[in-house]
Chains A and B, each alone.
Chain A
Amino acid sequence: MAEQTKAAKADRDGAGYWAANVRIILVSLVIWALVSFGFGILLRPMLSGIAVGGTDLGFWFAQQGSILVFLALIFFYAWRMNKLDREYGVEED
């Protein structure tokens, strides 16, 4: 009986943990797409007014900015998920 309750709790927490993880992934991927496909390619004409070193902001995002944001995203995700692991008590021993 006690074991069943424990299993049910783990299952509920597992679902909550996974839902929270998927939310973080979705937000991160929106930013991922915005800086590369967005600022770097499709939205570049909208950013053409912002000059950066002899060209415009879209060019900077396409050649450098997106890479810097990708880096920030991966480190943010690692930090956030390691915190989430502890919140739900599912971290490794």
Chain B
Amino acid sequence: MEQFTINLLFVGASFALYIGIAIWARAGSTSEFYAAGRGVHPVTNGMATAADWMSAASFISMAGLIAFTGYDNSSFLMGWTGGYVLLALLLAPYLRKFGKFTVSEFIGDRFYSPTARMVAVICLIVASTTYVIGQMTGVGVAFGRFLEISNTAGLLIGACVVFAYAVLGGMKGVTYTQVAQYVVLIMAYTIPAVFISLQLTGTPIPALGLFSETTSTGAEGSVYLLTKLDQIVTDLGFASYTEAHKDNLNMVLFTLSLMIGTAGLPHVIMRFFTVPKVSDARWSAGWALVFIALLYLTAPAVGAMARLNITNLMWPNGTSGEPVSVQTIETAPEYDWMLTWQKTGLLDWEDKNGDGLIQYYNDGSEAMAERAAANGWEGNELTNFNRDILVLANPEIANLPGWVIGLVAAGGLAAALSTAAGLLLAISSAVSHDLLKGQLTPNMSEKAELMSARIAMAIAIAVATILGLNPPGFAAQTVALAFGLAAASIFPALMMGIFSKRINNVGAVSGMLAGLIFTLVYIFLHKGWLFIAGTNSFPDTVDGSLFGIQSTAIGAIGALINFGVAYGVSMMTKDTPQEIKDLVESVRIPAGAGGAVDH
């Protein structure tokens, strides 16, 4: 059977499964739709949260970024898991006790101000739209490969599918669909990793394989996988895999931004509003992280092993031997993946010096200049290797059976589509429910509310698709910007709302605006206004940046500004009224938590 047919079968079967479950367990009413998590066991809720949370950034993009950078990108691993500690300790139980359905409702009530609610909605829309751009990048890669078309065409088709998926909407709220998506996603991620770990190290658990010895024995006997990887990448002039090359300040701030952002993203927080009890909200966060950790503990192994496999394929006779020839790439079956990925425009090579061989090395390295000159090399000939293709191409690179490749295609699409659809729903409900009905046109009919929700969704996806054609970075990097925005705006307001009785309406609004505007402007100064390439004032590098801090790491500073401004302004203005102090008291104590109520 053709690989294309196998992919189609797997993707089709997985979608049939989700739709089947959605119909079987259909939510009957709006409140049922919102409260899909209620009455559901914390373990099940944790699994659904994990599916909601792990998107194209985690599934498609992250391991590729780790593979080509090594230790420096550990920030993604620590940041996107460490945020759950903040969520479980600082937010989840109290927001559950508060007992409403949306983040902006909490902010509006706690800070007794419709303006605060409105500002929270704007923060939410900005962060979620940026997040969707990252998802669309991933969707484009997945559809491009799966339909064997260009990345751009894949992105456009993907946008239509995401829109249809999000408009069907209801299936998003069904916890069991998400459980099914989680199962598909985690199998698709771990099964190829197990195969590859067995091939390279003989260990069936990839997380352990990463720190094991390789099965291929060299002249000096067996060596550790990471030792070998360090050696071959440095042989080719690349930075070593396990050492740190980034300055500590940026790495700490980047990790912190991702952590705080995790605890500030509305679509994740919302899941904890609807568990049956406050104590369940605490457990749910733990179970969600268990299911997330299954992927996150595997991801660094996927990255390192893929890097090793790719380098070995480019240098089949060792890094000091003769590299792979153009003819081999075009004819040998183990290089077929290069030809298929070339069609997407995300992978390319060019025999610059015309010797019939493809030299893959770091042509920016001074140490390699000598060897290149001696051998007549004229630059790196593996001219394009998009980081976002690594996970999807991984089973093909490792020459795994066709069904594994089909499974990975289904998993990647599940990750990207479920999160993109969830975010679009969050954006559309923020616009129609919080902004229009809550503020601007309170008398609008339910039909008009639904229509405006759909229009908001269509606009959001159109914006995300246009910006996704020239994304500000690889999927996970774009998503990291969204986390920075959430970190700088939403999280501080939520935390201060619970842990301080003194922060008042004016303080919270000034804090959120200061954090959001500072972070957004800083990102635009480096990534271009509205992410339009060429409109940036500073180069997007550590050295060239305004404060020596990368745009992806600035969210942590934005959060500090938010805390500082909110505190300062609150101290200078009127104290909070007694009923707000009572509200904070009641939120802090689990007793008396009823079911979540709609208003």
Contacts and interface: CB of A to CB of B under 8 A. Distances in A.
B255 A91 contact: no
Interface string B83-96: 01100111001000
A62 to B, nearest CB: 4
Contacts of B293: 67-68, 71
A67 B81 contact: yes
- Interface size classification for chain A: 35 or more
Nearest to A51: B224
A67 B88 contact: no
Interface stretch (B110-118, B284-292, B470-478): B284-292
Nearest to B212: A53
Contact of A42 (B248, B256, B259): B248
Given A53-B210, A64-B207, A71-B293, A92 B279 contact: yes
Interface in A40-73: 40-42, 44, 52-56, 59-60, 62-64, 66-68, 70-71, 73
Q: Is the interface of B mostly helix, strand, loop or mixed?
A: helix
B74 to A, nearest CB: 4
B211 A36 contact: no
Contact of A71 (B228, B277, B289): B289
A89 B251 CA distance: 43
B219 interface: no
A35 B28 CA distance: 46
A38 B299 CA distance: 22
B88 A77 contact: yes
B252 A37 contact: yes
A5 B579 CA distance: 21
A90 B286 contact: no
Contact of B252 (A21, A41, A74): A41
Contacts of B593: 92
B286 A91 contact: no
A67 B293 CA distance: 7
Interface of A: 14, 17-18, 21-22, 25, 28-29, 32, 36-37, 40-42, 44, 52-56, 59-60, 62-64, 66-68, 70-71, 73-75, 77-78, 81-82, 85, 89-93
Given A18-B589, A63-B77, A74-B282, 9 more contacts: A18-B588, A40-B74, A41-B244, A41-B252, A53-B226, A54-B224, A63-B71, A71-B286, A78-B285
